[in-house]
Amino acid sequence: MSKRILQHPAESTTGKRYWRSLGQLQDTPEFRSWMDREFPQGAAEIQGDDVSRRGFLQFMGASVALAGLSLSACRRPLKNLVPFTKGVEWSVPGKALFFTSAMPSRNGAMPLVVTTFDGRPTKIEGNPMHPVNQGTTDVWAQSSILDLYDPQRSKGYLFGRKPSDAASFEKALGELLKGTPDGAGLAFLTDGTVSPTQERLRAEVLKKFPKAVWASFEPNGSELEASAVSAAFGPGHHAVPVLQKADIILTVDRDILGVEGDIAAIRGFAAGRKADKAGTKMNRLYVVENRYTLTGGMSDHRLRLAASRSGAFLKALALQVAKLAGDAGLAKAASELKVAETKIKDRWVEECAADLVAHKGAALVLVGQRQPAAVQALGFAVNAALGGLGTTLELRKTAATPALSISALAEELRKGKTSALFILGGNPVFNAPADVRWADAQGAVKTVVHLSLESNETSVAAQWHVPAAHYLEQWGDALAVDGSHMVVQPVIMPLYNGLSSIELLAKVVGTEPDALALVQKTFVEAFSTQADLTSFWAKSLKAGFVEGSRASAVTPALQVDAVAKACAEASAVRVVENTFELVFITDSKVDDGRYANNGWLQELPDPITKLTWDNAALLSPAAAKKLAVETGDVLKLSVGEKSVEIAALVLPGHADDSISVAVGYGRTEVGSVGRKVGVDVFPLLTAAEGRFRVGVTAAKTGRKYALAVTQEHGALEGRGADITRQSTKQEWAENEANPDYFLKMGIDAHAPANFSLYTNPPLDDIHAWGMTVDLNSCIGCAACMTACQAENNIPIVGKEQVIGGREMHWMRTDRYFASEGGDADEPEMVSQPMMCQHCENAPCETVCPVNATVHSEDGLNVMAYNRCIGTRYCANNCPFKVRRFNFFDYNERSITSLYKWNLISDKGMPESLQMQKNPNVTVRMRGVMEKCTFCVQRIQEAKITSKVHAGDSGVQPRVPADVFTSACAQVCPTDAIVFGDLRNPDSKVAKLNKDQRSYRLLEYLNTQNRVSYLARIRNPNLKMPDAARAGSASKDAHGHHGEHQQPAAPKATNGGHA
């Protein structure tokens, strides 16, 4: 294929080196055709409209950029910009260009579309054309853009911790490889991401160096699941749950909607839980878990149970299922399983099993990846007995070739015969299990080459550190969750000359390290059957993935005897009475520590604990009482000779004999953001014991530690019926005919009709922007918060400021625990995204003395930053407390020096971080108020676009329905947030707004919110012992005139509604 390579200016030797042009990418024919293909997200959903769909889209597709308006707010870095002497095709200054790409990850790469302005990527969106995520993404994908621009990224080669250069490395590499012509003494360690090109190069490496050793290690991976699958179905398979096909789902110690799942699972679950109207079919979720997770939060029935006792639960369930389904094989396998003596609520198991069996073929049981392989294998046997194989549980051939585990590699290294070890990504010195003793093993190798984005613990222990290219910087390929082949397309030249892993492997093999050529070669080999490969490549690149390359399901039979054998051979999980089990959880933010230097992630509140900038030992209120600790008391957790000291965080709904703690914190060799954040608990994690350990003792140290929790108060204080409305499927069906059913709950049930003293100017624009948030779909993952942060240039403020209550997130996800009678052991959890409600009768607007916050005709509550003097009166008068004040110059000052006298401290944002900023959004200074704008820059872009399209008439035509959306709505994995034009009857938001479940917060205040919430519906099994509890978070003590003070928190008498 022909490709015009634009000449870049020669690399400056003195100036900063990261500014490069995107020209190389911008003018390729595939982009041109891709652009012609009318790309913008959501465009396919245009319905009845004023402009022709085709015309509109052509126009939108070419240059546009839903998120681009002008450069009026952007101050470009002056130093390194070279004006285009020749215009680069497609590039319109100030307009965004979009490129498809993919973010590699262990669960399957995330299909992406990257927004770029003038050659710099600023925002990441999901690829709307890919069936897996359909335009949505997650927290990690959203925040990966910040990793690209991390000013403390590795910027050069290091040899023995001293700066070196690429040429020296090449030379050293050549000598290394010359020493072993057959590869003896060569070892490779990769992470768990699957890249076809890397797989191909691995084969080439092993062909050239047949004696080389290849291992792979993913600290938060699922090795036990892999062995369970291979025990149950034979090797070479992996199991994929298909949640959209499941009517009854039981998860046992598996956070499938959170860190132990993927976006396909989340979307599948949400698809099966749509509550469009009363009586529609929706799935039912049973959750057995040791701590509250996002999955537990969505459950209809939840049983808190220590992870070490989950096997006992599964055994009881399997026996019950076997009995009801008449499955002797399952009964045999289950009875072979040795488990810890555990008291399980019989009726819970019986009714749950009965419900599963009653939905044979549409039932799914998911077992935690930390559970022993035998327990997981038994879980597969239960699914087989429930007829779920091939429907709710799909099996596929594994794409990755097996590799050595890190333990085996460590043994190999310790033999002292390895002369060179290549570590491609990862940080095993920090996050390998303690009993692997990786640091020793690595120390036994003469030369260790570590390829990494940052100089981390492993880098400093290695001889060579090679800076890695970020995935947005270099060509690569990956497989999505559904197995489809995706090209990882770079959108910027490597900022610091980093190498990608395939380039490094190519160097090892001795081929040309041209990433694009390598990726294309893999592509050609994989799709050689295509007639016209050039156009097929171009087509795949513009789609972002290869259509039709989805991995197909296989249907191996369950080998029930093998499962029984595995169960019989597995040793029982011990339970040591009067001690705790310690469950190592994957952190939803820093993962295994790799994202420790990402400020957005560090400051993102954990969806459950709302903890930022730390990890903590989570324990139940009863356990805390027993240990006489409260949140913030430092605990000493000991097992064997090892111990760690970590602050306790009391979490309602936690199992009493269990403590959970997130791994990945306490990094030592890391940039300034991640330094001294949290406690490293990897020393307690062993490969032998796995990801939960029993017999852990906890003791109070007497020390206190300040935890930065963004939500101080988690109880609803009897306000559930006002704030988070819920009902059950059954009660909703009874009230189907009552349009006021969800409207008249809580105080709105007896508040008099509203009237206003003010007459506001009419909101008579042709648009009326509004939003709905479906509480039934929202899982509380907080992807919306990160998307908002990336889109709207929201700064981070640091731990100290978060403790002070000054985090700047424009939207937050409120998380409440509530239960009847205030029972903190078994509460319900409710998540509720909260952002500016864009009140038509806005309390903030009347009180601003300088008219800095006013209303637009299309119904936005807008902020004029330039006019704001910062009285904070608006924030005080906001009933939702969604306004955010710049207490300091968070953009200009380092978060560690905010209190230093302004006049003598350094100011200014690192230039690389400036590159991430959205040029269409003002970067706010200190002393001004800010808040959700409904992504006004996107609204304006869409309006301008449609107005330009209207031509000379000068009349603003109506923007067609749902052609664009806000950042939070766009990212939402469950499509819970919907933004659009309320005045356009074709828009999704207008339709949802008329839903019976739609209600607005604090209606009695007459604020006339433009955001409405759709009440949550729980789907309890009425035969379950805890069925009456469902929806209790929203039950309200509203005894009409008898009730005055609403004193007690999560308390409810039976209120007639809900």
Partner 1 sequence: MSKSSVSLETPAELKREPLVANNHSIKWVTENVCSIVQSPTPKWWLLAMCITSPIALIGLICIVYQISNGVGVWGENHPNGWAWDITNFVFWIGIGHAGTLISAVLFLTRQKWRTSINRAAEAMTLFAVVCAGIFPAIHVGRVWYAWFLAPIPNTNAIWPNFRSPLLWDVFAVSTYFTVSLLFWFVGLIPDLATLRDRSKSRIAQILYGIGALGWRGSNKQWRHYEMAYLLLAGLSTPLVLSVHSIVSFDFATSIMPGWHTTIFPPYFVAGAIFGGFAMVLTIMLPAAQIFPQLADMITRQHVDKMAKILLLTGSIVGYAYLMELFVAWYGVNKFEGFTFFIARANVDGKGWYQWSYWIMMFCNVISPQIFWFKKMRANYIAVFIVCQFVNVGMWFERFTIIVTSLAQDFLPSSWGHYAPSTTEILTFVGTFGIFFSLFLLFMRFLPMVAISEVKGVTPEADPHHNHPKH
Restricting to residues 703-732, which ones interact with partner 1 according to CB under 8 A? Answer: 711-719, 722-723
Based on CB atoms, which residue is closest to partner 1, 2 or 759? 759
Query: In terms of DSSP H, where are the helices of 782-826?
Result: 783-791, 799-803
Q: What's the CA gap between 890 and 892, in Å, rounded?
A: 6
- Interface residue with partner 1 among 235, 326, 804, 1056 (CB under 8 A) is 804
Give the nearest distance from C-beta 929 to partner 1 in angstroms. Answer: 8
In the complex with partner 1, the residue whose CB is nearer, 519 or 898, is 898
Work out the number of other CB atoms within 10 angstroms of the CB of residue 111: 33
Closer CB to partner 1, 87 or 762, in the complex? 762
Smallest distance from the beta carbon of 976 to partner 1, in angstroms? 17
For the chain, the residue count is 1058
Q: How far is the CB of 874 from partner 1 (least distance, A)?
A: 8
Give yes or no for residue 901 binding partner 1 (CB under 8 A). Answer: yes
Distances in whole angstroms, Cα of residue 149 to Cα of each of 144, 246, 500, 699, 776: 9, 41, 16, 42, 36
Q: Which residue number, 318 or 797, has a Cβ lying nearer to partner 1?
A: 797
| Positions in 731-770 near partner 1 (CB under 8 A) | 746-747, 750, 758
Number of amino acids touching partner 1 (CB under 8 A): 78
The DSSP 8-state label assigned to residue 24 in this structure reads H
Considering the complex, state which of residue 468 and residue 785 has its C-beta at the smaller distance from partner 1.
Answer: 785
Residue 628 or 758: the one with the smaller Cβ distance to partner 1 is: 758
Strand pairing class (447-452; 464-467): parallel
d(CA 1050, CA 818): 5
Of the candidate spans 293-301, 363-371, 737-745, 803-811, the one that interacts with partner 1 by CB under 8 A turns out to be 803-811
Using CB under 8 A as the binding rule, the residues of this chain from 1011 to 1050 that contact partner 1 are: 1040-1041, 1043-1049
Interacting residues with partner 1 between 925 and 964 (CB under 8 A) = 925-929
- What DSSP designation does 13 have? S
The yes or no reply on residue 851 touching partner 1 (CB under 8 A) is yes
Residue 965 CB: number of other CB atoms within 10 A?
Answer: 25
Nearer to partner 1, 378 or 716 (CB): 716
Tokens of 304: 């808190």
| Residue 112 contacts residue 137 (beta carbons within 8 Å) | yes
DSSP per-residue string spanning 434-450: GGG-HHHHHHTSSEEEE
Q: Of the two residues 444 and 747, which places its CB atom closer to partner 1 in the complex?
A: 747
Contact yes or no for 595/628 (Cβ under 8 A):
no
Q: How far apart are CA 668 and CA 663, in angstroms?
A: 14
Q: Which residues are CB-contacts of 327 (< 8 A; sequence separation ≥ 6)?
A: 321, 385
* 553 in Cβ contact with 394 (< 8 Å): yes
Chosen residue from 539, 636, 744, 806 binding partner 1 by CB under 8 A:
806
Least distance (Å) from partner 1 to the CB of residue 727?
20
DSSP collapsed to 3 states, 662-730: ECCCCCCCCCCCCCCCCCCCHHHCECCCECEEEEEEEEEEEEECCCEECCCCCECCCCHHHHCCEEEHH
Residue whose CB is less far from partner 1, 713 or 994: 713
Residue 867 is classified by DSSP as T
- Exposure of 673 by Cβ count < 10 A (0-12 exposed, 13-18 middle, 19+ buried)? buried
List the interface residues with partner 1, window 398-457 (CB under 8 A): none
Beta carbon nearer to partner 1, 555 or 866: 866
- For residue 135, what are its two tokens? 């335009």
Interacting positions 114-173 with partner 1 (CB under 8 A): none
CA atoms within 13 A on the CB side of 648: 31
Nearer to partner 1, 1 or 1048 (CB): 1048
Binding test (CB under 8 A) with partner 1, winner from 843, 862, 909, 947: 843
- At residue 938's C-alpha, the angle toward residues 934 and 941, to 5°, is 140
Minimum distance between the CB of residue 1031 and partner 1, rounded to whole angstroms? Answer: 18
In whole angstroms, how close is the CB of 105 to partner 1 at the nearest point? 31
Interacting residue with partner 1 among 322, 629, 848, 935 (CB under 8 A): 848
Q: How far apart are CA 614 and CA 610, in angstroms?
A: 10
One-letter amino acid for residue 645 of the chain = E
Min separation Cβ 763 and partner 1, Å = 17
- Least distance in Å: CB of 731 to partner 1? 22
Residue among 391 and 905 whose Cβ is closer to partner 1: 905
Pick one of 815, 855, 1000, 1010: the residue that binds partner 1 (CB under 8 A).
Answer: 815
Question: Does residue 536 bind partner 1 (CB under 8 A)?
Answer: no
Question: How far is the CA of 419 from the CAs of 213, 436, 449, in angstroms?
Answer: 11, 19, 11
CA 435 to chain centre: 30
Instruction: Indicate which single residue of 832, 891, 922, 1021 sits in contact with partner 1 (rule: CB under 8 A).
Output: 832
Pick between residue 375 and residue 878 the one whose CB is nearest to partner 1.
878
Residue 843 vs 1025, nearer CB to partner 1: 843
Token pair, residue 26, equals 């911008």
- Indicate if the alpha-carbon torsion angle 606, 609, 613, 619 is positive or negative: negative
CB of 587 to partner 1, least distance (A): 22
Cβ proximity to partner 1: between 20 and 719 the closer is 719
For residues 289 and 608, is the Cβ–Cβ distance under 8 A?
A: no
Q: Which stretch binds partner 1 (CB under 8 A): 322-330, 486-494, 678-686, 923-931?
A: 923-931
Nearer to partner 1, 171 or 867 (CB): 867
What lies within 8 Å, CB to CB, of 553 at 6+ separation is 390, 394, 395, 396
Q: How far is the CB of 893 from partner 1 (least distance, A)?
A: 9
Tell me the closest approach of the beta carbon of residue 1041 to partner 1, in angstroms. Answer: 6
Is 1052 one of the binding residues for partner 1 (CB under 8 A)? Answer: no
- Minimum separation from the CB atom of position 790 to partner 1 (A): 21
Q: How far is the CB of 909 from partner 1 (least distance, A)?
A: 16
What separation, in Å, do the N-terminal and C-terminal C-alpha atoms of the chain show?
Answer: 63
> Exposed, middle or buried by CB within 10 Å (0-12, 13-18, 19+), for 271?
middle
Show contacts with partner 1 in window 456-475 (CB under 8 A): none
What is the maximum span of the chain, computed from C-alpha positions, in angstroms? 89
Nearer to partner 1 (CB atom), residue 322 or residue 829: 829
Q: Name the one range near partner 1 by CB under 8 A: 294-302, 318-326, 341-349, 847-855.
A: 847-855
Contacting partner 1 within 859-898 (CB under 8 A): 867-873, 875-877, 879-881, 883-889, 898
Nearest approach in angstroms of CB 304 to partner 1 is 23
Closer CB to partner 1, 467 or 607, in the complex: 607
651 lies in the site for partner 1, by CB under 8 A: no
Q: For residue 999, list its beta bridge partners.
A: 1013
Q: Which three-class secondary structure state does DSSP give residue 583? A: strand
The Cα 621–Cα 651 span in angstroms is 7
Site for partner 1 in 3-22 (CB under 8 A): none
Give 815's contacts (C-beta < 8 A, 6+ positions apart).
297, 607, 608, 610, 711, 714, 780, 829, 830, 831, 832
Q: What does the alpha-carbon distance between residue 219 and residue 592 come to, in Å, rounded to a whole number?
A: 6
Q: Report helix angle 533-543 to 515-526, nearest 10.
A: 110
Q: Which one of the spans 189-197, 233-241, 475-483, 839-847 is the region binding partner 1 (CB under 8 A)? A: 839-847
The interface with partner 1 within residues 987-1006 (CB under 8 A) comprises 1001-1002, 1005
Q: Min. distance of Cβ 71 from partner 1 in angstroms? A: 22
Window of 332-340, 359-367, 616-624, 901-909 that interacts with partner 1 by CB under 8 A: 901-909
